[in-house]
Chains A and B, each alone.
Chain A
């Protein structure tokens, strides 16, 4: 096969994963929230409501696509694409296993963060183009908070990069092999040096993906639906899908950076080569566990106010992560 055909297949696979992930995550969200809220969630379409999200996607595809008269037409149409494409791009560097990945980038970590940081541009576009005051507020909030939290998100993981000496996500996973005392995995989450790192990463990741308690840009009780207020049909579907996709990516990044990626330390290395599906299966299971925790938070937490979010970002997380970079740099230097 030519290089182009292989590339096309890989893109198609990423797209398929993204769509399937959207459908699965919406079903999962409904079920998880349902059971947290002492109810059952969808039960009627298909076995235990499994076909509910499939039908909802069909509904979104066939719905009337309304474009309000006052909107800035080009920006309005472009915005969902600008939100959607970066989240598709972000799949490129994720290592599902040592062989299963779209591309083996040496700058994988930076690349993924870059892709994620393009999303707010689309959200701001959507908010501005909608010619709706609630949308505008939502877009502004999204821009403000995502700019504020990209910095700590990236700064927080620098200690890991310093220890591993690479931004290649695959190399970071390989640095977490083996066990301590035969039981405790040598994941970075087990290393006390990275506990503050992990906390900052979790908070910043929740902000980056607009998850509760930081879902200010579409906080439905305050600004209706924020930047997505005027969107309908599949344009809304794309905005929605990319939000779920971003959640998957951040969770996958967390798994890669802190929880040993596609590996389990108790399994012999030869197994991964013998059963090629094993690595991706472990990786996706871990990722969905991370997503479950995000949904758990979403089911219980109230929302933070915009000024409190900004204060937390600029006044706490950024200084703390800067100090921690210096401290862990010294520790790593002394240790080695």
Chain B
């Protein structure tokens, strides 16, 4: 091991050799191991792709000794739809529909990443109002996405009540997003050049009504789940991803910030209206599942704060730039990323001057989090595995593309 250190993400130094993963999880041993002359057979269990709490179609091949996990292999690809390839045959204004189906719980952020990448290659000045509407849509969507995470994380622990409470707030949010974009989940609202439509009349009031109760509800939710002694017993100290490991695995979003790394794309590489907004980035300390829970709960509070600022200061003007009906960006290469609900969602775009992208690469945060599972799960119990997968908030639609 050398002592070479390199800067990662502009936020810290990652030195080779500092993070020694120990016994690599490379593959399963698939053989019984003897203990004190007694042979105890290890069991290999397929958790998923059909399992109540793998949040989609994640497949974990787990080798267990009793209930304790010895090794894990993460098997992905069950939801592969070829989004990157399909994008090569879509016009630029239609790729957003694919991005919606990538990370389908926070579609706005995916659309925004693509629009930002395409705009780098277009001669276009995005109006200020479009920036603000994009931020508004992103933050509303982030709340909706985090509420799904909150609800399903509770379900993973076996608590049922809070899931439906979270769905009540999400329903109000989806109504707002539907009023804004015409769709509840598959928005295709943010396009290269701006957004599709202005805010409808009365939406400001609708959002204000939502915000007037949201903070109280959020306290209630935190009390209901985080305030429960059993939940704390279950979550504290499991699935620890420390700073070095988080950087080594390229984690972003709440999973990285829970380890205490202060990196948020909204602040590190500002886009849309974020430079003009006042918000904090919640940080954790140890990087265990409890910290990830706390960070996401804090993010929800910040998102609500930002939404209030966005509707108060919404500028006048056009909601989209003048873009040609058929968009033909200049030939070239562009990378743009946004802070989605799960971390840095980036689009690496190659344009060849035609109306279709030549190649689009989709950098989703869940793939990186899923890789980290192979290392953090061994040593925990099966019941913990479910919680840890839930706490990393991976989204299979985006992981498998």
A residues engaging B (CB < 8 A)? 33, 36-39, 133-134, 136-137, 212-213, 215-216, 219-224, 298-308
Residue in contact with A221 in the complex, picked from B52, B165, B224, CB distance below 8 Å: B52
Q: Which chain A residue lies CB-closest to B238?
A: A305
- Residues of B that sit less than 8 Å from A by CB: 43, 45, 51-53, 67, 154-161, 163-165, 168, 224-225, 228, 230-231, 233-234, 381-384, 386
Q: Shortest distance in angstroms between A249's beta carbon and chain B's nearest beta carbon?
A: 23
Task: Indicate which residue in B159, B228, B231, B382 contacts A222 across the interface (CB closer than 8 Å).
Answer: B382
Task: Output the least CB separation between A294 and chain B (Å).
Answer: 14
| B43 and A302 form a contact (CB under 8 A) | no
Docked complex Cα distance between A161 and B67 (Å): 39
Extra 16 A-B pairs, beta carbons < 8 Å, given A215-B158, A302-B159: A38-B164, A137-B382, A212-B158, A220-B52, A220-B158, A300-B160, A300-B224, A301-B159, A301-B230, A302-B157, A302-B158, A303-B157, A303-B230, A303-B383, A306-B67, A306-B381
Per the bound structure, the CA–CA distance linking A100 and B159 in Å amounts to 39
In Å, the complex CA distance between A303 and B384 comes to 11
| Cβ-defined contact, B67 with A302, below 8 A | no
- Inter-chain contact A303/B381, CB cutoff 8 Å: no
- Taking the closest CB of chain B, its distance from the CB of A31, in whole angstroms, is 14
In the assembled complex, the Cα of A36 lies from the Cα of B162 at a distance in Å of 10
**Partner pick for A305 among B52, B161, B163, B384, CB 8 A cutoff:** B384
- Name the distance in Å between B247's Cβ and chain A's nearest Cβ: 30
- Does A303 contact B158, Cβ atoms closer than 8 Å? yes
Alpha-carbon distance A307/B381, docked complex (angstroms): 9
Residues in A neighbouring B230, C-beta threshold 8 A: 213, 301-304
A212 (CB) vs chain B CBs: closest residue: B158
Q: A306: which B residues are within 8 A, CB to CB?
A: 67, 381, 383
Complex interface: chain B residues within 8 A of A33 (CB): 160
CB distance from B88 to the nearest CB of A (A): 39
CB contacts (< 8 Å) of A136 on chain B: these are 43
Contact A299 B233 (CB under 8 A): no
Cβ B383 vs Cβ A305 within 8 A? yes
Number of A-B contacts (CB under 8 A): 81
Contact A213 B161 (CB under 8 A): no
- Name A34's closest neighbour in chain B (CB-CB): B164
Q: Please list the 7 inter-chain residue pairs (A to B) with the smallest Cβ-Cβ separation, ordered nearest first.
A: A303-B158, A302-B157, A37-B164, A302-B159, A221-B53, A300-B161, A302-B231
Q: List 8 A-B contacts (CB under 8 A).
A: A33-B160, A37-B160, A137-B382, A223-B382, A299-B161, A300-B161, A306-B67, A306-B381
Measured between beta carbons, the chain B residues less than 8 angstroms from A300 are 159-161, 224
Bound together, the chains give a CA A102 to CA B327 distance in angstroms of 83
Answer whether A219 and B165 are a contact pair too, CB < 8 Å, given A137-B67, A302-B231: no
- Chain B residues within an 8 Å CB radius of A220: 52, 158
**CB contact under 8 A between A302 and B386, given known A37-B164, A137-B67, A224-B51:** no
CA distance A136 to B168 in the complex (A): 37
A213 surroundings in chain B (CB, below 8 A): 158, 230
Which residue, of A216, A222, A224, A306, has the highest number of chain B Cβ atoms within 10 A? A222
Asked whether A221 and B158 contact (CB < 8 A) given A137-B67, A302-B234, A304-B234, the answer is yes
Most B-side CB within 10 Å, residue of A37, A38, A305: A305
Within 8 Å CB of B224, what residues of A? 300
A266 to B377, alpha carbons, bound, how many Å?
59
- The smallest C-beta distance from B169 to any residue of chain A, in angstroms, reads 11
- Which residues of the other chain, B, contact A302 by a CB distance below 8 angstroms? 154, 157-159, 225, 228, 230-231, 234
Please name the residue on chain A nearest to B163 by beta carbon: A37
Contact yes or no, B164 A221, CB < 8 A: no
A37 and B67 contact, CB distance less than 8 A = no
A36 to B228, CA, bound (A): 17
User: Do B161 and A36 touch across chains, with their CB atoms under 8 A apart?
Assistant: yes
- A222/B53 in contact, CB under 8 A: yes
Contact B43 A222 (CB under 8 A): no
Residues of A within 8 A of B154 (CB): 302
Which A residue sits closest to B45, measured CB to CB?
Answer: A133
In angstroms, how far is the closest chain B Cβ from the Cβ of A133? 5
